[in-house]
Structure 1
């Protein structure tokens, strides 16, 4: 039996490491456009460490890796999520890290996210897809071998960036361990199930272990913020309320259409090489890039009119 204490410690380590490394898909895309590609590469690869635990999945009596087919709503949802994340300045995990660092604007984002999920439940436009069991074959061995080789290369060629790379890889490894205990531990899954519970009385709320895992992760993020002196109380200005509620709403609607936020996609769906997840990630990257580009144009136009 996987003790809940171990699960909580792992969740706290994930939160601490995510805070320290600046684990954020929005930041990764921003870095990539400036020819700093290591962060986004690490983020896209980290989830594949879950293959280390493939032999243990059957022992736990369930497989949390599933393959969903392509549906045109999924990349559209990914794009909407990406635009919302770019406006918010943070994706799923980094919204939590910023909130744990004292940025209370992220509470508005999370409220909007929940509202987005509820809106999609009410309108009932989420794609209904049937999953097929994941057949790993030789891919786990190939993927883990490639990750080890790439990590050695990063340590050798980019030693000054090793802490960033190894930290993000550590998140992927510990996330795989946590999935063995609770396949629905990710923050976006928690928001989804909270929304479902609000709309359907017969569905139970997220279980107590899931609540404790989320709290442990937030505590780890807060510890990281204190350790590196990043904790600052930031209150939302009146003019920012609509921005963060709106960006959260886009993220909620987008993640519902894409069958999960970027944390779920990167850490669980992408390693299964699901066509749905591949298209969702592509949509999210395109949405983040488009949102950042639009924001730059608006700032440029604003500066020229002053």
Structure 2
């Protein structure tokens, strides 16, 4: 029964991610065009994750969330991920969103993710990550106050703003409880385990059946949203585009490995629990995306079908 409820939550998350978008690449582009609110809503999408941590504390459920001190590898990994996202013209979740809308070249990006994780499975530098305890009262007071202020502000806003912000915050709320049930539910976590299992040839490293169910549920929510909004359109791709997206995905995979997660993990888990490493990784992602856009525009312009 509990698993069924969590799968429904994953389907709902996939639906919201498809209809609203959780793409920092799009957010940076919107910012460059003068619309700063979209990126801000993305950066604050995980503000309600504290609800799940408080629930876990009240009902005595063990928390598997981990905070890390700042480290140069978070910044570098985030930068590589952002650079790859710019070349891919989409981040992690939005890659799956595009795929379920018929953009077939996103399969090359996913293969690149796996290649990137595999490279780091064979060679992983000593990154010296330092875990620190999760804040309790200060954590709830800060994020609870931000949540209340946002809800009041949004409630008196126009319909378009309400849809954007409540959808983004809904993604964060759902993800908090999903992470509480299965910390390794995300597509990045599955690819990480697959790469480890393939390189180390250890059966216990393979993702469990439940994780595959979560991945299917996420795609189901996205497919349903694409069908309901009439956004499904098969987009063929040329060989050059496949290669560009494979390289972009490889950069994203390496970056996510170095930073212990891609943009979705940083936005929906690391930042909401106030992990300093998460904030550094997101800063690196933003710089990487900005740099990637600049490189494509001025140095090596590459025309990709959106």
Distance (Å, rounded) in 1 between the aligned partners of 2:299 and 2:20: 29
Unaligned residue ranges in structure 2 (runs of 5+): none
Residue 291 to residue 7, structure 1, CA distance change in 2 (3 Å): same
Q: Deviations over 1:224-266 (max 9, x none)?
A: 0111111111222112121000000000011111111111111
Alignment of 1:1-306 (within 5 A): 3-58=2-57, 59=59, 61-125=61-125, 127-202=127-202, 203-298=204-299
Displacement of 1:138 in angstroms is 2.6
Moved more, 120-129 or 176-185: 120-129
Matched positions, count: 301
What is the TM-score with the length of structure 1 in the denominator?
A: 0.93
Q: Indicate conservation of the 8 Å contact 1:126/1:257, yes or no.
A: no
Q: Indicate conservation of the 8 Å contact 2:84/2:250, yes or no.
A: yes
Distance (Å, rounded) in 2 between the aligned partners of 1:75 and 1:103: 30
Displacement of 1:156 in angstroms is 2.1
Q: Indicate conservation of the 8 Å contact 2:53/2:176, yes or no.
A: no
Query: SS state of the match for residue 272, structure 1?
Result: coil
Q: CA RMSD in A?
A: 1.9
Distance (Å, rounded) in 2 between the aligned partners of 1:248 and 1:263: 15
Distance (Å, rounded) in 1 between the aligned partners of 2:196 and 2:128: 15
What is the TM-score with the length of structure 2 in the denominator?
A: 0.93
Residue 245 to residue 137, structure 1, CA distance change in 2 (3 Å): same
Query: SS state of the match for residue 48, structure 2?
Result: helix
Residue 63 to residue 162, structure 1, CA distance change in 2 (3 Å): same
Distance (Å, rounded) in 2 between the aligned partners of 1:232 and 1:90: 17
Unaligned residue ranges in structure 1 (runs of 5+): none
Distance (Å, rounded) in 1 between the aligned partners of 2:81 and 2:269: 18
